[in-house]
Structure 1
Amino acid sequence: MAKLQMFDVVFDGNDAGVYHSGEVIRGYVRIVLGGVKNDVRGIQIKFKGESHTHWSEGSSKNRRHYSAKEVYFKEKLICWGKGKNDRGASKLTLESGEHRFPFSFQIPNVPLPFPFESYVGWIRYRIMCKIDRPWKFNHNTERLFTVVGLPIDLNSMPHARIPSHQESTKTVCCLCCAQGPIIVKASTDKGAYVPGESIFVSGTIENNTSREIVDITYKLVQYVTYFSSGGHKTRRVTTIVKDKAPGCRRREVARLNWKPLVLPPIPPTGPQGCNIIKIEYLVQFEGDVSNTPLDAEVKLPVFIGTVPLYQTQYPDPSAVVSEQPSSSAATAPPPSYQVAMEGLQEIPSKSGHDYTFGKLMYAPQYPTYNLPASAPTWDPAHPPQQAGPGSYPEYPQKY
């Protein structure tokens, strides 16, 4: 029977492992032994928050590797025994049975980015624990946790309630003859949301060609830009949620009337506090033009936050707004913290060898709300108020 039967990190009163900036993490290291272990110098624990990007471009001899790293905090302490460099360090004995070694650590009270996972880059907060054994392989265990940075309150953003609206005109060419145009108009019901809400999308495709609009696709797309320390960057595009609606025949108009896209648990726009990963969101509204690889589309920038708007109904556009709703009014329901839409993933061990105890499975958790959804009643072609230049971040462009 192996002597080391259990080696893990337990949080006091916080099984979900979700903490806020400035909060104190309390818990203990649990070790269960099936026999006496007399080869231990000490038990070390390390707290670390960091982000990392890494990707490659090119092939063969022209292949280039790019990476960057940011460290948000790092602290190491000895739970029991002594460290490698301590004077008088010697082998100690742990008896058979269960042992608990308490710890506490205060997360820095500064804006910290939400955790994020992808194969190109990640933002992680972890506890790494080591049973230090002189002249032998150490035993290691790790636990990742979620840090909720400072709230991203949509009530503090003047344009969060303003619909995102775009129009475009597309001409379809057939040999030497141009057909069209196809006129696309689309709107969202507002400009900012939180996970759990519904983005209501409305739009029209005026088809002035002899081709059919096969269908309409409306979807939320996540654009993530990764930066290297040398100034290079790459981008990955992911469809978060999408749906389809009927198209139309030639010389007709296809319409979509305020259909919802329910937001799953996703990271907010940003992320705040991180300089090497940038997350943006767009609602893409497009018509599939038959017999051509080209689509007629518009892209609507939207912002994802962590504190919802307390009042989402639009006032009379002709009325004068004398007072904005106060973000201090405690009328927003509390969020639940839901596992990211990708689910649990296996995280490679930081120690990099086979002496890590157990498989490390992890998924970030994001604040998610259960909010009532009601479609707008105003005409999307004439929003009650439109944002001026610079009101929204520009949607991502191709490099």
Structure 2
Amino acid sequence: MTGKLQAFEVIFDGDDVDVFKSGDVIRGYVKLVLRDAKSDVRGIKISFKGKAHTHWSEGSGDNRRSYSGYETYFKEKLVCWGKSKQDVHATKLTLESGEHRFPFSFQIPNKPLPFPFESYHGWIRYKVSCKIDRPWKFDHRTERLFTVIGIPIDLNTMPSARYPVRDQSSQTVCCLCCASGPVLTKASTDKSAYVPGESIFVSGTVENNSSRDIIDLTAKLVQMVVYFSTSGHTERRSETMVKVKAPGCGGGQVALMDWSPLLVPPIPPTGPQGCSIIRIEYYVLFEGDITNTPFDAEVRLPVTIGTIPLHQPLYQPSYADPSAVVLNQPSSNASAPPLPPPCYEVAMGGPQEIPSKSGYDYTFGKLMYAPQYPTYNLPASAPTWDPAYPPQQGDTAYPPSGPGYPPVN
């Protein structure tokens, strides 16, 4: 950068780690490097903000309408050096050439806060903003975003987490006004809840009783986000996180996907809890692409993405071989082996440029950022139960029906 200002950045203590949780004290310093002395400075100001924002438009021309929503979780301003704008005795101060460091500390409010999130139509951000306050001139600014660990989602507190989600559908394919046999689609996941770094195993069949070909089978983990405005309007957007394919089949045949894994990437958990203007949901979409038709044979299987994985392994159904050695017998949490701690990985898609606030032409450098999410390195193992004989309500290992348990079709 040309001019007197050679470096202007926020640096956190502890090897510059930028992942925190509610109640943590953020400590660090503002680093400032000047080629020449600056004699037009009133002070060095820093602010900490936690906010959420949604925004989208609908229609066109005179019928175009814009919607937005806002939430603020915390906001605090500090003076690192010099005087505040409200100080009637404030005078211009001089910063000599060379490197300067201005320490700061800030405690994140000890209250439930949502995980950060970035998308085109909305975001949840935690930001440090610093400015060189110059009376009657443009202020120099720098910004840095950081991650706050949101409300944990412990899969062990969910009664249905370890049990499969399954569904089926039937469609009739019409050709020249003559209906052929139905296309029957069935699919199941091995569980109903996962964490990033874990694999979702998907099993499904498409029984093709039509004369059309099934080009291929696809299983996708889909993120569906609902955005809310202050006026009560909503916007829904879906995006595929990861997918896997399997071969299709011809007419009168059956196509099979046999426990194909979908590795959950670093993504935000279901929720986010603590935010009322953004809601994130996930489902596995299993579909067969029917040739020369505008629709697919499909089944949607809702799943939960959490932040703390299951302690207990998968259940053993009652129809399993009773003489076999049960390696995945459920055990109490107290006797379960300790889980490895998560690492915090950058969200899929990597860092993106975050535009500075409009009119701040003196912002130092580009602001590149991606949230970080807890991710586990867990061994991948397909379920032991046979998808042709899914657990039923009569199985001794299957939970009773009721709130929190999956329906039995």
TM over 0.5: yes
Q: Is the 8 A contact 1:191 1:301 kept in 2?
A: yes
**2:186 counterpart SS class:** strand
**2:62 counterpart SS class:** helix
Match of 2:195 in 1: 194
Q: Which amino acid aligns with 1:7?
A: F
Q: Is the 8 A contact 1:129 1:140 kept in 2?
A: yes
Match of 1:153 in 2: 154
Q: Cα 1:101–1:327, aligned 2, differ >3 Å: closer, same or farther?
A: farther
Match of 2:353 in 1: 346
Structure 1, residues 367-391: CA drift from partner, whole Å, max 9, x if none?
A: 1111000111212243334785764
Question: Structure 2 CA distance, aligned partners of 1:283 and 1:393?
Answer: 15
Match of 2:325 in 1: none
Q: Is the 8 A contact 1:165 1:386 kept in 2?
A: no
Per the TM alignment, residue 26 of structure 1 is displaced from its structure 2 partner at its CA by 0.5
The match for 1:332 among 334, 339, 356 is: 339
Q: Cα 1:323–1:162, aligned 2, differ >3 Å: closer, same or farther?
A: closer
Structure 1 segment 76-95 matched on structure 2, within 5 A: 76-95=77-96
- Kindly indicate whether residue 303 of structure 2 is the aligned counterpart of residue 302 of structure 1: yes
- Kindly indicate whether residue 231 of structure 2 is the aligned counterpart of residue 234 of structure 1: no
Question: Structure 1 CA distance, aligned partners of 2:215 and 2:85?
Answer: 68
Question: Structure 2 CA distance, aligned partners of 1:180 and 1:390?
Answer: 37
Structure 1, residues 42-101: CA drift from partner, whole Å, max 9, x if none?
A: 111000000000000000001000000000110111111111111311111111111111
Match of 1:2 in 2: 3
Match of 1:139 in 2: 140
Match of 2:386 in 1: 379
Match of 1:63 in 2: 64
Q: Which amino acid aligns with 1:267?
A: P
Q: Cα 1:391–1:293, aligned 2, differ >3 Å: closer, same or farther?
A: farther
Per the TM alignment, residue 213 of structure 1 is displaced from its structure 2 partner at its CA by 1.1
Q: Cα 1:15–1:120, aligned 2, differ >3 Å: closer, same or farther?
A: same
Q: Cα 1:26–1:361, aligned 2, differ >3 Å: closer, same or farther?
A: same
Per the TM alignment, residue 154 of structure 1 is displaced from its structure 2 partner at its CA by 0.7
Structure 1 segment 266-305 matched on structure 2, within 5 A: 266-305=267-306
- Kindly indicate whether residue 37 of structure 2 is the aligned counterpart of residue 36 of structure 1: yes
Q: Cα 1:305–1:327, aligned 2, differ >3 Å: closer, same or farther?
A: farther
Per the TM alignment, residue 36 of structure 1 is displaced from its structure 2 partner at its CA by 1.0
Q: Is the 8 A contact 1:301 1:393 kept in 2?
A: no
Per the TM alignment, residue 16 of structure 1 is displaced from its structure 2 partner at its CA by 3.7
Q: Which amino acid aligns with 1:298?
A: V
Question: Structure 2 CA distance, aligned partners of 1:358 and 1:266?
Answer: 27
Per the TM alignment, residue 289 of structure 1 is displaced from its structure 2 partner at its CA by 1.0
User: Could you tell me the TM-score, scaled by structure 1's length?
Assistant: 0.94
Q: Is the 8 A contact 2:312 2:330 kept in 1?
A: no
**1:13 counterpart SS class:** helix
Per the TM alignment, residue 178 of structure 1 is displaced from its structure 2 partner at its CA by 1.5
**2:14 counterpart SS class:** coil
Match of 1:122 in 2: 123
Per the TM alignment, residue 3 of structure 1 is displaced from its structure 2 partner at its CA by 1.3
- Kindly indicate whether residue 374 of structure 2 is the aligned counterpart of residue 370 of structure 1: no
Q: Cα 1:205–1:388, aligned 2, differ >3 Å: closer, same or farther?
A: farther
Match of 1:397 in 2: none
Q: Cα 1:252–1:329, aligned 2, differ >3 Å: closer, same or farther?
A: closer
* CA RMSD after TM alignment: 2.2
Unaligned runs of 5+ in 2: 323-328, 392-397
Question: Structure 2 CA distance, aligned partners of 1:387 and 1:225?
Answer: 32
Deviating beyond 3 angstroms after TM superposition, the runs of 4 or more aligned structure 1 residues are 316-319, 322-325, 327-330, 385-394
Per the TM alignment, residue 150 of structure 1 is displaced from its structure 2 partner at its CA by 2.5
Question: Structure 2 CA distance, aligned partners of 1:83 and 1:393?
Answer: 59
Q: Cα 1:18–1:57, aligned 2, differ >3 Å: closer, same or farther?
A: same
Q: Which amino acid aligns with 1:96?
A: S
Match of 1:357 in 2: 364
Per the TM alignment, residue 195 of structure 1 is displaced from its structure 2 partner at its CA by 0.5
Unaligned runs of 5+ in 1: 395-399
Question: Structure 2 CA distance, aligned partners of 1:271 and 1:159?
Answer: 20
Match of 1:20 in 2: 21
Question: Structure 1 CA distance, aligned partners of 2:80 and 2:318?
Answer: 62
Question: Structure 1 CA distance, aligned partners of 2:291 and 2:154?
Answer: 43
**1:79 counterpart SS class:** strand
Q: Which amino acid aligns with 1:282?
A: Y
Q: Which amino acid aligns with 1:341?
A: M
Match of 1:173 in 2: 174
Q: Is the 8 A contact 1:189 1:200 kept in 2?
A: yes
Q: Which amino acid aligns with 1:113?
A: P
Question: Structure 2 CA distance, aligned partners of 1:129 and 1:201?
Answer: 48
Question: Structure 2 CA distance, aligned partners of 1:139 and 1:92?
Answer: 15
Per the TM alignment, residue 237 of structure 1 is displaced from its structure 2 partner at its CA by 0.8
Q: Cα 1:206–1:340, aligned 2, differ >3 Å: closer, same or farther?
A: same
Q: Cα 1:25–1:55, aligned 2, differ >3 Å: closer, same or farther?
A: same
